[in-house]
Structure 1
Amino acid sequence: MDQFAALKAFVIVGEEGSFVKAGAVLGVATSSVTRQVNNLEEHLGVKLLHRSTRSVTLTDVGEKYLADVSRVLEDLDQANRSVMDTGTGPRGLLRVSAPLEFARVHIAPFLKEFGDLYPDLELELDLSNRVINLAEERIDVAIRVGQIESMSLIARRLAGHRRILCASEGYFKQYGIPEQPQDLKRHNCISFVSKAGGRNWHFERDGERYTVKVKGNMRANNSEILRQSALLGGGLILAPDWLVGCDVTCGQLKQVLADWEVTTNTKNGDVSAVYLPHHRGSQKINAFVDFLKAKYEPTPYWLKNVQGCDLLSSSE
């Protein structure tokens, strides 16, 4: 038995709760993972996992063993990286997942610079608004906007994130300015389509809470389409500051109900980089995350890189 391989297989099965997912992470057949864990249990003479047709869970002994083995493997990985990284920079393939529009505005402008800094890194981007399973799709690091639901992921905050309720001056001249959340019931609110809904907008201020079911003549699953419509006077939008903050600062859009925190069915949260626990300490992941974090720290990060709104020189 290759004990190191068996221990690694057990840790990933325990973290993922699935032999299939562990096989995907390790890049081996499910049967191979099953055999390694079975051999490990036979070698130790204890049962580490409860198996059923629907789930795989840790036994009490397995839970303690997982914690101990995880620390050992992390120490070993760190020792290996310390030796391998001596005199070298990050290298190899880095697979990154990110929301399409966020990546277009706040990642794409930096890719040339990142590539120049780390010429031995090959970057592969998977751009989609869906929340993917990092293990199943072999993603090293994902950029997430909003609250992180999974407790099994390591999350590093990159920047803040909040939603802005806004429309063009032309729209407000024609239809008036809402002064309280209930006023939105008589406005054309163009909203984002998602599985969680999106037509219930939640308002909170000093303990007051309101939910308004908005209506409008258009919905879309692309935030840039909504932004363009709002710029042309198409209606009110509830959009992230990283997308419309610059438009509001430039005066192309006007924010309303600014003293309220506004959300949809999902909380505002932050912009975060997330990755699996066994990738902790990865040099290539740290290089990418540290690079983005440095880019988002000075000034409001959304004040840069939005086409048609050059306020950078006046803000520095």
Structure 2
Amino acid sequence: MSSTSRMTSYQRREQLIAIGRSLFATEGFEAVSVEAIAAAAKVSKPIVYEHFGGKEGLYAVVVDREMRSLNEALTSALSDPGAHPRRIVERTALALLTYIEEHAEGFHVLVRDSPTTDPSGSFSSLLGDVSMRVEEILTQTFKSQHLPLKGVPYYAQMLVGLTVFTGQYWADRRKVSKEQLAAHIVNLAWYGLSRLQAKPELRFESAKARKAEERRLAKEAKAAAAAESQAAAAKPDADTAEAPSPVTDTTAVDGANADTDSHTDAGTSSHDEGPTDDATSTATGDTNGDATGDTGSDTGSDAGDITGRTS
């Protein structure tokens, strides 16, 4: 290959490192082969083995180089312990985001799962070193504010994790500038730090909060039961007050008695009128008969008297 003879050993090494970094960032360590590296560099596989001994050696060089670049950027941001704490937070956030912006492939290599068995050469070990440096700075701040120092290591890890994982999210999207994102990180981190409580407590999910909630619910249940019992006791009294009393409410009784008397009088009147009609009829008949008879007798007598006188 003619292109091979025109490169110096240093140039070829740098070429393989750049190609390896790109492949490891996009494909991951396990998916990359020596054949793929050689093909991308347009060299034979022995060239790769000659420089790095295999893909493991190339990967180690790529990671080491990226670790040194990031470490230098973060160390520089944290190098002035006399600076205002907020300025240190701003510098650290910007240093990481600048590294991500300028070394996008290298950052992707670092945040991928590492095949190395040496924990000192991993990305997590670098973050551990950075966290220790942040811890030193926070210790001074906590002392000046008379805050308990036992929480310092945890706050240091929080700050580093917040910045790193936010940067990782931003590396794949880039919808805001690094300055804007750094301002958001500082907004959350700084205003949280400036209002730290000496003895922070969970407001809703602690054992103390749960017991208080249980007491509140028990009190409400007791009050509801008492109200229900009181309402049940008052209900018979209300029913008694609404029902008509046979002693005090005499209207219905008087009305019933009046109806009974009316029916009784009517019945009595009917029975009395029956015999009266019969007597009346009898008396009338007798009177008529007597009158008729008397009239006939009188008429006959009168006629006889008249006839005798005539004769």
Give the TM-score category using the shorter length.
under 0.3
- What TM-score do the two structures reach when normalised by structure 1? 0.23
Q: Which has the larger share of strand? A: 1
Q: Which has the larger share of helix? A: 2
Task: Pick the structure with greater CA Rg.
Answer: 2
Higher relative contact order (Cα pairs below 8 Å, separated by 6+ residues): 1
